[in-house]
Structure 1
Amino acid sequence: MADQTPQPHQTGGGRRSFGQFAPKFAELTDDVLFEDVWNRPGLSARDRSLITVAALVTSGDATQLRFHLGRARENGVGKDELIEAVTHLAFYAGWPKAMTAMGVAKEVLDG
């Protein structure tokens, strides 16, 4: 059962980043991914952030990881938890992806 604690409302930056360049992409980012998927009941924003960080580490997406590590901190995931998640994923996602992710984490979390 999902935590009933009020969650921070998740918003995207699609229109701000791509509104003029790719309006449909911006719309889908803001209205579907963030407004709908990120704000669904069933998982807390904290849990969604941890899952998203894990997915980005395993895919090797350092650019999106940079953003989502910050979002995870905003959603209540601790620095030590994020470091532990990357360490744990090293054995499932592969050492090179974890090394890249840990470098990004060090930049974002200690920056």
Structure 2
Amino acid sequence: MSHRSEQGQRSFGDIAPTLAELTDRVLFDQVWQDPVLSPRDRSLATVASLIALGRAEQLPFHLRRARDNGLSHDELAALTTHLAFYAGWPAAASAVTRLRELKDEEARS
């Protein structure tokens, strides 16, 4: 694999260096690079899981990654609406807040 992630190191390497190393080398350099699933499919699964589990703090990073991996705002909004029926309205409402923040961020860019 030619690309090596440093996201974990940047995010929390100073506090939890082993977690940062596992995040970079296993999660992002191995799991995310496995060609069995496309990056788009991995993003769709990851965002759905984060919404369903109510992990709103992790959503901004993964929503941006999902956009980079080819998911549109409309697709992410449709995913969020779909999950409201399976994961609950509060989880979907929290995700919409994060999706709005991303849309605003992209509009300013």
Instruction: Give TM-score, length-normalised by structure 2.
Output: 0.88
- Taking a change above 3 Å as real, the CA distance of residues 70 and 47 of structure 1, as seen in their structure-2 partners, is same
- Taking a change above 3 Å as real, the CA distance of residues 103 and 97 of structure 1, as seen in their structure-2 partners, is same
Instruction: Give TM-score, length-normalised by structure 1.
Output: 0.87
CA contact (8 A) 1:14 1:26 kept: yes
- Check if 1:42 corresponds to 2:42: no
Which stretch of the first structure deviates more once superposed, 101-110 or 11-20? 11-20
- Check if 1:20 corresponds to 2:11: no
For structure 1, the 5+ residue unaligned runs are: 1-8
Runs of 4+ in 1 over 3 A off after TM superposition: 9-12
Per-residue Cα deviation, 1:80-103 (whole angstroms, up to 9, x for no partner): 000000000000000111111111
Q: Percent identity?
A: 57
The amino acid that maps onto 2:98 is: V
For structure 2, the 5+ residue unaligned runs are: none
Per-residue Cα deviation, 1:37-62 (whole angstroms, up to 9, x for no partner): 00002110011001100000000111
* Superposed displacement of residue 71, structure 1: 0.4
Aligned pairs, number: 103
